[in-house]
Amino acid sequence: MTIEKIRKDIHNNMGNVAVITHNEGRNKVLEYEGKVIEVYRNIFVIMDKGSKRSFSYYDVLTDTTKVSFKL
């Protein structure tokens, strides 16, 4: 998988609900659920319970962040 494919997949699911699992290290894993509201060249933004959270495509590529979509 490439960054371009990841960017395209997230862009195609803009407005859909995403479940983000982010590995913070040292056994700390955080999970967010929200709509993809913005897509930029290096990052994408989700709205999670009234707050915005941004994630990079590189983190998705390296499996630090996992993204799945609810349709």
The pLDDT confidence band at residue 10, using thresholds 50, 70 and 90, is very high
In order of 3, 26, 48, 66, the CA distances from 51 in angstroms are: 25, 25, 5, 19
**Placement of tokens 């993204």 in the chain:** 67
pLDDT at 51: 95
Question: Where is 5: in which H helix or E strand?
Answer: helix 3-12
* All residues at 6 or more sequence positions from 60 whose CB lies less than 8 Å from its CB, including other chains: 6, 10, 66, 67
The pLDDT confidence band at residue 1, using thresholds 50, 70 and 90, is confident
Q: Is the pLDDT of residue 5 over 90?
A: yes
Each residue of 16-29: pLDDT tens digit? 999 999 999 899 99
Question: Where is 32: in which H helix or E strand?
Answer: strand 28-39
